Chains A and B, each alone.
Chain A
């Protein structure tokens, strides 16, 4: 469900979106652009809703090299959160501060984007969660049993787990929450994908049943979930916010309940002033161990992350392309505060619709793949902020195959493949339009300009760009209307099924390249119910090898916030590849 725009490259973009009408932003942008070199408040309001994990977790603010700042002076004067006890030098007691953007929603059942999810996982929780090693771990369920046939999951809930208001969390709360998530009225997206394995969800979603028959509260602290096939990855799907537990009374108190949520996570939502700030406060009763921090303050009112960091106004920031050279220099004063992390579990790719000419010939697709110099672009254009992709699964992801050869840069081979294809000589007759998600302040990424240039030089294939606003883009994507498109996919849960089955099974609604190979389908289906993990991963690797060879994608990068600056008084701040609750581990040296 989580497609992403590859925003890691648009260093000129800001994340600040709220609080200004589009018109006023336009004018500001115009004036600024014209009169001042500093330029460009280019708020990415449009994609806040869809900010990929790569930018949401910590990156978004980091890349927000500009906020509404119009001049350097104005930037430093970005409004400080009220009541914040800000000081120009040093930290704020017990508080972690960072720049953030307005989350599109805080309702766990409705969130489909990373900006929202990163807050939601701190405020809410579910049966299981993901730990720092990125493995499924107990949350409200202290333990669970899987029946021998792999169909029935019995969860034993903690007796000490309570909502923020002190009310105990029971199996009935989970049953109600799962039924709310699957209710038509809730209009949650991705229900079939995340919860569709549970028996009775189909009937509930179509409105035929009032309950989900596969979910049963045995007693207050025992929950039984029955699924349709023995799918070992089902448990990891329950770590996704759509399976989180909500307090019925709280939700039924009115439409604005998400502003005063009664969650079960390590932090309480103390205050949410749209466009200004979100304050999270420590939940002293948290069942997995209360947070060390007293507060987390997320500044929504904009500003230039880097400057705010340098002025000690925030404690954590990502680093944009433009600042990178300066800070990577070992002599720079901020170099010691630099934290390097692995790219997040995401893959940016160019998809080709395998049913449309000229992409219906596998040789054309392979030729295009061979004509991309991934290594060079990654290091020279993108300053090694991304890792060149060989296959589908990102490095470190369960089932990742380090031996996959991928496509090296080989212009001769590319030309030879194109010459062997059925479009040799008349490729010009098929105009190719590469659609990218555009929108406010966005522009075509430089890496794409470089790729299309080498396609043109090596293969004589000319590609036109088309930019579509993100919401329209997603609609068209789901209707398979693009012949060539660039997008990213961010992992929802750590299982290869989340990439391979969802994106390449011929019957998947997310298979937008319309790739279809009976052999791949067979392997993917076999992997779904395979109980032995090693065999399962082998099946996925076989499928991945076939898919990569047949090249419905040109995989480009595994991106994410590779570099983060963290103030020296912040300890145990983790930059992880998935969105998981991590702020409770943070400690401040005072």
Chain B
């Protein structure tokens, strides 16, 4: 059953940036886009299991800090070598200054 989990405060993430969120033995990445929307994906790169929260957010792309693998964090789509497998994305909502992600 899907449930909403509080991940962080809305202000914890800078604009065009990402932070790490660990929950239930899993790790996630929470993004704030340049136009102030929030998104969530799995926290590890599908190429070499590196934390994406150490990477660089540019527009709608997160770039992995190790090999520069690029994903669209809004859709999870891998955008070319060295990443071939898409990222899992999760629904996000912001309520009362808190960011929630839906896990299930």
Are A and B part of the same complex? no
Chain A residues with a Cβ under 8 A of chain B = none
